[in-house]
A and B are shown apart, each in its own frame.
Chain A
Amino acid sequence: MTTRRTIIKQGALGAATLATSTAMPWRMLRAQAKPVKIAVIAPLSGPWARQGTLIKWGAETAANEINAGGGIKAMGGAKIELVLIDAGDSAEKAKNAAQRLIAQEPDVVAGMGAWLSTFTLAITEVTERAQLPWITLSYADSITDRGFKYVFQSSMPAGKQSVETLPTVLNLAKAATGKLPQSVGVIGDNTASPTAFLKPMREGGLQKAGLKVLFDETYTPPLSDATPLIQKVRSGRPEFLLWVSTTISDLKLGLEKMNEFRLAKGVVPVISNGAHLGMPEVLKNLPADLIEGLMYSVANHQVKGQDRINDAYGKHSGEPWITQDGLAGYGHTWIFKEALEKAGVADRVKLNEEIHKLDLTSGPAADSFPGGVKFDAAGRRTNAIVCIVQWQNGKPLTVYPTDRAMAAPKWPKTS
């Protein structure tokens, strides 16, 4: 029989059930905090699409790790959501991509990109006005020379890389041959990064190091043929060649021409700069014996202690080894994660302050960048070091800094 007491009991039970059932999704909603959006503007089409893809894979590897590990704990386990935008093949398109990002994704709290210094310079003009913290791997000194507050540069700027590279290379030569080289030939393309890298050397750095500059040529990439350039090497016979280019195509033309002129394989050692020189596809364009011994400086490359990052990246991307681009995508995402943990809110200004305060010496972000993660007021990583990498037995191996090197450097003794 249904009594009033029974009705009250059933009502109370119903209310309790209702309360429980509504409380469950509420708790779940709290657990699934709003994702934190991080932008990746990189060239995903055009001639630099490959480099952009490597950055993307690095960022995805890190985002997957962070999300699998419980997201941003200070924000209720908020997941990282990457917003991928194509920078295209020109500074104009890159700038448009940044404007589109600001207009269409108001929730984005930070971003990274866009590989080529020329693109980064254009993009950061837009992101700075939007007070959007932006980290880049691009080399040009001018990126952090403009007094911007929201731009961070994880690589050592090109001008400083140049200053660091030269004495290291000369010491390697001396250790191997017993004397310092006396002459050098310089070839560089006229894009922003090689120009910035070669500037301190051209402005007296080479002479100060006791080197006689036999020729100094600048060209517009891509080359159609390297004959006139390598003919300079043939007639001048410098003790080593400083050749800074931004395309694999030019590298192939140059090294094959040197082989044709009997100048390759250590006859005239080649020193260069740039992450593209260590990409796996170099071997799809040049035989291993021709690239053997090529030495180049780069802002970041796989060093001792990065096996875990390399493995995770390899599993995600299928790439045989990680290079600067993958490390940047991975490391930048982890830097944002660490700063978000401190900020506790998805706020651009607060996040920017926390990035400036970071001083990371361990963990995935610090592991990605030898020297750790700490930025100065201008946005430059204070402990950034330059890596010197050399192709040995078909692999680009870090040979400097010595304490993190994967192999000992070799200087050809035939020069």
Chain B
Amino acid sequence: MDDLYWHLVDFLQAFAAGLLVGGTYGLMCVGLGIIFGVMRVVNFAHGDFMMLGMYAAFYLVTGFGVLAFLGPYAGPIAGAVLAGPIVFAIGWLLHKFLISRVTGARVVAAEAEGHYAQIILTLGIALVLANGGLILFGSTPLSVQTPLSRESWEIGPVFLNQARAVGFIMAVICALGLYLFLTRTNLGKALRAAADNPTAAAYVGIDVDRAHRLAFGLGVGITGVAGGLFAMSQSFQPYIGFDFVIVMYAGVVLGGMGSILGAFWGGLTIGLVQQMSTLILPYQLQNTAIFVVFLVIVFFRPQGMFGRVWERT
């Protein structure tokens, strides 16, 4: 009886952890989903923009103490939110001066729609951001310290980590807000049009480069918020981006190319598989389990969970 009880608690606890971690994964994937899934820009520096979000939150809350007046609970949450605009601005500038050379209307006729150049350029940016981060921020692991990350809300025998739970709620709000922006506003529709057919979009008066720039800034900004949320629970250093970039791509493809909500579900699925696989598999196979499930899903649904049929993986 006791064994059965603990098996049930183990299951519920792993499910809760998967859901909460998956929420923040989902937000990261939504950010990449705009850039890779919708705008079709390959961005290997995406994990490093998340790292910038972590440092932005850290310096706002702890380093410079700008948000210290909000206290140890609200301060880190506000820091995560404000990391978004900061990373948005960095993304906007990088796109204006570098990434615009290999995206948008300029590469419509280029081989593989400019993806080769995008891979090389964004890999270069990733290296510069990680090593520049090492010079600027140093190699010391840091985190945004808050009681939220070590306290929980209890629902029966299940503990919900407060930082993860807040992160989950914020992730859902951000993902929904972005979905509504892209589907219900003229600007959002212009972004999608510029991504679907840059030439036709230009004919109807859409500034394709500007649309791409806005989408890129939004994508990395959203991921910056996810980074700020992760910074409450995890230690980070300038090389942390690499640990997440594969998960982000897997989430976007799993959810379905071109689908923002799909990217969120993709990230959520990865979180659930990662945590719940430990119930039956050795812990060392956590990440292997993610890619086994990934392969199974794309085998049966090559377009991903929410992708369009003509956009296969």
Contacts and interface: CB of A to CB of B under 8 A. Distances in A.
Given A220-B283, A235-B6, A252-B234, A284 B143 contact: yes
A218 B143 contact: no
Contact of B150 (A45, A47, A247, A290): A290
Nearest to B163: A256
Contacts, number: 112
Interface string A226-260: 01110100010000000000011100110111011
A217 B284 CA distance: 9
B283 A217 contact: yes
Given A217-B283, A227-B17, A287-B145, A260 B150 contact: yes
A219 interface: yes
A46 interface: yes
A253 B233 contact: yes
Nearest to A227: B17
Interface string A47-67: 101101100000000000000
A218 B283 contact: yes
Interface string A285-325: 11100100000000000000000000000000000000000
Contacts of B239: 45-47, 89
Contacts of B186: none
A281 interface: yes
B124 interface: no
Contacts of A218: 282-284
A186 to B, nearest CB: 12
Interface stretch (B99-107, B168-176, B273-281): B273-281
B236 interface: yes
A222 interface: yes
Given A45-B131, A220-B284, A285 B21 contact: no
A52 B138 CA distance: 12
A347 B134 CA distance: 37
Given A249-B235, A285-B141, A285-B143, A225 B275 contact: yes
A224 interface: yes
Nearest to A45: B134
B139 A49 contact: yes
Interface string B131-151: 100100011111101000111
A142 interface: no
Contacts of A285: 141-143, 145, 235
Nearest to A255: B150
Interface residues of B, number: 43
A112 B88 CA distance: 43
B142 A284 contact: yes
Residue from A53, A229, A260, A286 with most neighbouring chain B CB atoms (10 Å): A260
B175 to A, nearest CB: 19
Contacts of A52: 139
B235 A219 contact: no
A252 B235 contact: yes
Interface residues of A, number: 38
A235 B9 CA distance: 9
B235 A227 contact: no
B126 to A, nearest CB: 13
A78 B141 CA distance: 38
Contacts of A47: 237, 239-240
Nearest to A236: B6
A222 B236 CA distance: 11
A97 to B, nearest CB: 16
A272 to B, nearest CB: 16
A287 B21 CA distance: 23
A227 B142 contact: no
Contacts of A249: 141, 234-236
B10 A231 contact: yes
A394 to B, nearest CB: 14
A219 B13 contact: no
Given A227-B17, A249-B141, A281-B142, A222 B243 contact: yes
A252 B143 contact: yes
Contacts of A225: 17, 20-21, 164, 233, 274-275
Contacts of A259: 150-151
B150 A227 contact: no
12 contacts: A45-B134, A46-B239, A225-B274, A227-B161, A228-B275, A229-B278, A248-B141, A259-B150, A260-B159, A281-B140, A284-B142, A290-B150
Interface of A: 45-47, 49-50, 52-53, 89, 190, 217-220, 222, 224-225, 227-229, 231, 235, 247-249, 252-253, 255-257, 259-261, 281, 284-287, 290
Given A45-B131, A281-B142, 20 more contacts: A49-B139, A50-B138, A50-B140, A225-B17, A227-B161, A228-B13, A228-B17, A228-B275, A229-B278, A231-B13, A231-B14, A248-B141, A249-B141, A249-B235, A252-B143, A256-B150, A256-B233, A259-B150, A261-B159, A285-B143
